[in-house]
Structures are given as C-alpha cells and as structure tokens.
Amino acid sequence: MTRIDDTFARLKAEGRKAFVAYVMAGDPEFDTSREIVLGLPAAGVDIIELGLPFTDPMADGPTIQLAGQRALSKGQTLDKTLQIARDLRDTGDQTPIVLMGYYNPIFSRGVETFLRQAKEAGIDGLIVVDLPPEEDAELCLPAQAAGLNFIRLATPTTDDRRLPKVLQNTSGFVYYVSITGITGAAAAQAGDVGPEVARIKAATDLPVIVGFGIRTPETARAIAQVADGAVVGSAIVSEIAQGRSPSEVLAFVRSLAEGAHAA
C-alpha cells in the first residue's frame, strides 16, 4: 500500500471524492513554487501532481509549456524538483506526491538512480506521458518494484481494444483525460465524461480521476460527481502566471478543492 492507495481508501471510507492539484516545480521560481506546494495540503489538496519541467512538453498546452519555460529559465532542475518534495516531507505532511513529466530527464539521470532518489525524496507515483505500455520495462515495472505507483492516462480515443493494454501494470489510479488534445484546450463536460469513466471502471478496480478542462469549482464538482475525483492544472498555473501571490493562488486552489469535495 502506497500513500496514494491509503488516500483513496480513506476518501472512500469518508464518502468523499479526491481533489488533485498540478503545479509546475520551479514556476515562477524555486522559492515561490516551494511555498505554494507546501501550502497545498492545507488548501484541501488530496494528491499533489508536481510537474517536472522539460524543454519539449508535447502533451501540454501553452499555459503549462510557458510554466516549464519559466521554471527552466530560473534554473529549475530534477534535483531542485525532488528537493521541493523532500521539503514537504520534512514538515511531516503525508499528502501523496505524483511526479508528472517526460522520460528524457529520467533516462538522463539513469532509471535506477532516479527511482532511488525519488523514493528517498518522498515521491509516491509517476506519470510519464511519453512512455506507452509497450515500454513498461523501461520505467513502469522498475518503478513499481521500487514501491512507486505508475499512473497511466486514458483518453477519449482509448477504445475497448486498447484499454486493457493501458490498464496493464497501472497502479494508484487511472487518469482520464476528458478532452482530445493538449492541456488547457477545452472545457470538460460531465455529460461526456460520465459514460467514459463508467466504461473504464468496468474494466478496473482502480479509482478513475478526471483531468484537463477543469477551471472552476462548479466544474470540479460536476466532474467529481461522475468520477472518483478531479484534477486541476492549467487553471492553477494560470493564476501563478498572472503574478498572484502564494496566498492568492492557494485561496483559488481551496475553492476548487471545496468544489470537488462537495460532489
């Protein structure tokens, strides 16, 4: 059992849905990013997705692309990203942290070294969007052997033939991408998402969390009503891009969390 598994078990016992927040590590710079991450649990976040900045983020829209560029321009690195996770753990907080990004920085570090460092820093799971199930031996299986969840994305184009392959070796939860396209491209619609979530849940016992296109507390609530929880990323990153203070960003996050938890 990982912290992610424990969190979903607790939420289920409480009859609540999960709220997952994504922020880019190092955006707009290290100290502000660190302050925001450390404040997320108190803002009602059940699981933190910590973005690892990368120069070629092919699955991300302009908002998160620019966040990665800002972070990299300020010297954000893999080591500094792990340091943010380590700092949260040093406070004693046990909120699960999922590191989300691309394989290149991990491959460059070396899988064995990276997994050891991630585990030591308090990372609980990985979302690596450019490693399909056919490449599970690269990172997915070693990560699970190291005690980290490997979380896979399903999309509107994941048909019934492809779905079993996507679910193979997935753990922690399934991340359902509510729209076809990049992050921040469109608004999620609960009426469209509900049947897809039901289809995925019929094929797995894992929780199904929905992300992409959720920008308001109302949408977070509507999506959480038809899934096991909601993920918000671009809307939070947009607040940071507009120069909001950490307290203002966290107040916005709290409103989203309250929406999801009201489902």
Considering the domain boundaries, does residue 26 fall inside one?
yes
Q: Record the pTM.
A: 0.95
The domain total for the chain is: 1
Distance CA 38, CA 25 (A): 12
Block residue for tokens 């076809």 = 180
Residue 41, helix vs strand vs coil: helix
Quick one: how far is CA 182 from the chain centroid? 15
Q: Enumerate the active-site residues.
A: 49, 60
- What residues in the chain have per-residue pLDDT under 70? 180-188, 190
Please give the pLDDT value at position 180: 60
Q: What is the pLDDT of residues 14-24, one digit of tens each?
A: 999 999 999 99
The neighbour count for residue 202, using CB atoms within 10 Å, is 9
Considering the domain boundaries, does residue 224 fall inside one?
no
* Domain range for 136: 3-150+229-261
Query: Amino acid letter at 203?
Result: A
Considering the domain boundaries, does residue 21 fall inside one?
yes
Residue 218, helix vs strand vs coil: helix
Task: Confirm if 260 and 235 have CB atoms less than 8 A apart.
Answer: no
- CATH code, domain carrying 101: 3.20.20.70
The neighbour count for residue 244, using CB atoms within 10 Å, is 17
Distance CA 153, CA 23 (A): 18
Q: What is the pLDDT of residues 45-93, one digit of tens each?
A: 999 999 999 998 887 889 999 999 999 999 999 999 999 999 999 999 9
Please give the pLDDT value at position 201: 96
